[in-house]
Amino acid sequence: MGKNFSDFFLSSECMIRMASGWFYLSCLLLGSLGSMCILFTIYWMQYWRGGFAWNGSIYMFNWHPVLMVAGMVVFYGGASLVYRLPQSWVGPKLPWKLLHAALHLMAFILTVVGLVAVFTFHNHGKIANLYSLHSWLGITAVFLFACQWCLGFAVFLLPWASMWLRSLLKPIHVFFGAAILSLSIASVISGINEKLFFSLKNTTRPYNSLPSEAVFANSTGMLVVAFGLLVLYILLASSWKRPAPGILTDRQPLLHDGE
């Protein structure tokens, strides 16, 4: 009996170590993709769209795609994976909860500044707001993000909520986390497409002739999709979820508090 238990324990420990190795490899790929998403968007706005300003002009609008990609996709996706870090599997969860909340708050601040940029540009140029499917998807994602963050802060970070309430709301919290990221990706893709249609409508090389700007922007969109799919895969991979109590060693007790 003792030998069987020892074999099971060693097998479980090896599985955790193997999962950790693949996790960090995926994180390296994820970090590369996320950096490329932001850098490609910056380069697109700088090289083809004239750069950046904060004066109500079209150059102020150029902050919008950069900040939305950085906030609603890259930082949001990274913040969602905090509890997949093997270091978060043991010891107190409070530091990881604080990191999770802080990264999401940073993502939300970037998102708000990105929205300020586009609304200011629209109002300055007397352009209608929130009329396209892209804007509907985006504002829905931002609204759900705000609700998600407030709910997470109130229930999972503050100490008043009971274990029963946390266990009840955890699946909802997880579902909407993935749903918001999916909505954000859809909004970014539709936004890239919309920007190309508007910008390349009356040029010598229109969008349907696939000029270099269109190739580059479409490639940026594909990077965003790849980043989002990898985040969702890591979130859904069972081998990278927080192990159940009893899997880890007694010297590293797992505090399973319902989140």
Dihedral-angle region of residue 132 (phi above 0 means left; psi in -120 to 50 means alpha; beta otherwise): beta
Residue 128 or 88, more confident: 128
Q: How many CB atoms lie within 10 A of CB 207?
A: 18
- At 237 the pLDDT is 75
DSSP 3-state of 91: strand
Residue whose token pair is 């009356």: 202
What number does CATH give the domain 38-237?
Answer: 1.20.120.1770
Cα–Cα distances in Å, from 11 out to 3, 4, 5, 253? 12, 10, 10, 18
Q: Encode 76-96: b = buried (16+ Cβ within 10 Å), e = exposed.
A: bbbbbbbbbbbebbbeebeeb
Highest mean pLDDT among 17-26, 38-47, 77-86, 91-100: 38-47
Place 50 in a pLDDT band, splitting at 50, 70 and 90. Answer: very high
**Domain spans of the chain, in order of start:** 38-237
Confidence of residue 255 (pLDDT cuts 50, 70, 90): very low
**What percentage of the chain carries pLDDT values higher than 70?**
84
Q: Report, as an integer, the average pLDDT of 35-56.
A: 97
C-alpha atoms less than 13 angstroms from C-alpha of 144 in its C-beta half-sphere: 21
Instruction: Report the pLDDT value the prediction gives residue 256, as an integer from 0 to 100.
Output: 40
Q: Tell me what pLDDT residue 133 has.
A: 97
Token couple for 64: 């919008």
Residue 85: pLDDT band with limits 50, 70, 90: confident
- pLDDT at position 14, please? 56
Cβ–Cβ under 8 Å, residues 6 and 14: no
d(CA 29, CA 27): 5
* pLDDT score recorded for residue 23: 79
Q: Output the six-digit token pair for 193.
A: 């497409």
Per-residue pLDDT band at 247 (split at 50, 70, 90): low
pLDDT tens for 102-119 read 999 999 999 999 999 999
